Amino acid sequence: FHNLQELRHSASLANKVFIQRDYSEGTTCKFQTKFPSELESRIELTLFEETVKTLNNFYAEAEKIGGQSYLEGCLACATAYLIFLCMETRYEKQVLKKIAKYIQEQNEKIYAPRGLLITDPIERGMRVIEISIYEDRGSSGSSSGSSSVSGSTAR
């Protein structure tokens, strides 16, 4: 597969894997980095771990309780939270925008060429990272995991 469009049109969905939440540190949003067995033949462990760890870092940064979140909280309270009608919250900016962009990037560069597709966890209630596994319907197996794809873009 060369891109996401091809993936959607020429492949059929074979299976879905759900990466569960890791609650060991409490209720903060964090996903398990355990490598599911269904993906073993499809993608390298390091790439998968890199994706999940980066996502975890994004969520941790968004939920960090520090100076900026206090400021936002106090300012919003002073305006009876009406300011949120005009302004996006810091969390929304971080989670919805940054992560959506990152996931799309990862899909385009790493996962689609391997016949996989990551669904943004927010579409599943932040419960799971859903990874869809596609099988090529028509053509015979082509070269897999070509290493010409550059390493994942770490932020």
Partner 1 sequence: MSAVMITRKVRKWEKLPGKNTFCCDGRVMMARQKGIFYLTLFLIIGTCSLFFVFECPYLAVHLSPAIPVFAVLLFLFVIAMLLRTSFSDPGVLPRALPEEANFIEMEIEAANGNVPSGQRPPPRIRNVQINNQIVKLKYCYTCKIFRPPRASHCSICDNCVDRFDHHCPWVGNCVGKRNYRYFYLFTLTLSLLTIYIFAFNIVHVVMRSVDHGFLNTLKETPGTVLEVLVCFFTLWSMVGLTGFHTYLISLNQTTNEDIKGSWSGKNRGQNPYSHKNIIKNCCEVLCGPTYPSVLDRRGLMQEDSPAAANSEGPCSFDNPVAQTTKTTAPLIPNEHTPDDVKPSIAAEKSSGPKDDQPPAAMLPPLASPETDAETSIAKNQ
Question: Is residue 36 within 8 Å of residue 19, measured between CB atoms?
Answer: yes
- Asked whether position 37 contacts partner 1 by CB under 8 A, the answer is no
Choose between 86 and 154: whose C-beta lies nearer to partner 1: 86
Residue 53 tokens, joined = 């760890």
Choose between 44 and 130: whose C-beta lies nearer to partner 1: 130
Q: Which of 33, 49, 56, 76 binds partner 1 (CB under 8 A)?
A: 76
Longest CA span, the chain: 63
Question: Is residue 112 within 8 Å of residue 131, measured between CB atoms?
Answer: no
Count of beta carbons in the 10 Å neighbourhood of residue 130: 16
Residues forming the site for partner 1 (CB under 8 A): 8-9, 13-16, 18, 21, 23-27, 62-65, 69-70, 72-74, 76-77, 80-82, 84, 89-92, 95-96, 119, 122-128, 130, 132
